[in-house]
Structure 1
Amino acid sequence: MDASELDIVDRPAASARGWRVPLLAFARNPAGSIYGTVVADSVLAVESERQTKLSDLIYAELITVIVYWFAHVYADFLGSPPSGSRRASLHRLAVTLGHEWSLVTASFFPLAAVLLAAAAGASIQTAALAGMWTGVAALVLWGQLAGRRAGRGAVVSFAYGMTAGLFGLALILLRVLLH
């Protein structure tokens, strides 16, 4: 079966999922999304107390997440078996870059919450906390998506989501204890 046939086969299933289809397209790699959200929340936990300007906080988060993305892709690339040719290696690298891009896009959810809270007049610290709580909610969602993609049932997927959410709660607790 070629790619066009797969697309036709997948369309009815995709429409049956309704609202989840755009979300699944946005987070094709829930594991990467979990990692990206944890990195983003970690930056918010640490940098929100150090930064006095919103733009500095945003730059710190984006640059850190992108560096982690590159490092993750590089580590994956180094750990994979060598390809037969340079072209095959570059193709594998490009595929890995695309697959792991969810590490970056997942950070946009906490970042959007930071921007919305700041636009509503919140301080940098309060806006960062809003971003971190959004990160907790996103982690729950990514965990549930990971469970579903692994073929788990609703209860196990819910447990995956709650476990992923605990990572975000741990970061909030760490922020409270450190500041």
Structure 2
Amino acid sequence: MTDDQLHITPRVGRILMSEEAIYGLILVSGMIVVSASSSGAAVDAAITVAVTVIVFFAAHVFAGTLGRLAATDGRAGLRASLRASTHQSSGMLLASLPPLVILVLGATRVIDDSTAMWAALIVNTVLLGALGWIAVARWSTHWVPRILAALTTAAFGGALIALKAIIHH
């Protein structure tokens, strides 16, 4: 499946194909597991995830800005470095939206707390698998590397689902 088949704009596709987007999904899954083990409430998980993603995004932008300035001996300029780093890191924010929406549905009692947290973890795992598949599909027409990439990327989410199952049973 390509970005065109998914009706994703090229800009959104580039953001989602970033290491920051994949890292963001793994971070969100970890925060869901941690927050679920302490309270079990979707509202707590939503707040924990939102605050953590914002802090990690800000830290990533800050580090990226400093790194760009250092790599260019300041020639890149503060504004340009900040803009480039913000753009590069935006995948972390974008990738966190689907699980956050699900957690908010749980927090507002549209769905059960436990269902919201499990659904957010499953959606993250599916998204990780899809990102792995699409990333490899950009450079390989062979299905074996695509499947291996999808399974490997999804395995990060699967590992956190297993951790949640172990912690809560």
Q: Which amino acid aligns with 2:21?
A: S
Superposed CA offset, 1:83-119 (max 9, x none): 444x723202211111210111101122223344565
User: What is residue 134 of structure 2 aligned with on the other side?
Assistant: 145
Q: TM-score, normalised by structure 2?
A: 0.80
Q: Which amino acid aligns with 1:95?
A: A
Superposed CA offset, 1:38-86 (max 9, x none): 011111111023236533321210110111112223333333403444x
Q: TM-score, normalised by structure 1?
A: 0.77
Offset at residue 132 of structure 1 (A)? 0.2
Structure 1 position 132 matched with structure 2 position 121: yes
Structure 1 position 51 matched with structure 2 position 23: no
Structure having the higher Rg: 1
Offset at residue 154 of structure 1 (A)? 4.1
**Counterparts of residues 15-164 of structure 1 (less than 5 Å):** 18-22=4-8, 24-29=10-15, 30=17, 31-51=19-39, 53-80=41-68, 81-85=71-75, 88-116=77-105, 119-122=109-112, 124-149=113-138, 151-155=139-143, 156-164=145-153
Identity among equivalent pairs (%): 24
Unaligned runs of 5+ in 1: 1-15
**Residue pair 1:34, 1:139 contacting (<8 A) in 2 also:** yes
Instruction: Report the Cα distance in structure 1 between the residues aligned to 2:4 and 2:136, rounded to whole angstroms.
Output: 18
Instruction: Report the Cα distance in structure 2 between the residues aligned to 1:104 and 1:33, rounded to whole angstroms.
Output: 8
Unaligned runs of 5+ in 2: none
Instruction: Report the Cα distance in structure 2 between the residues aligned to 1:52 and 1:170, rounded to whole angstroms.
Output: 19
Instruction: Report the Cα distance in structure 2 between the residues aligned to 1:23 and 1:44, rounded to whole angstroms.
Output: 29
Q: 1:133 to 1:52 in 2, by over 3 A?
A: closer
Report how many aligned residue pairs link the two structures.
161
Instruction: Report the Cα distance in structure 1 between the residues aligned to 2:99 and 2:9, rounded to whole angstroms.
Output: 15
**Residue pair 1:28, 1:99 contacting (<8 A) in 2 also:** no
Superposed CA offset, 1:122-166 (max 9, x none): 1x23311110001000101111222234x2334223321111000
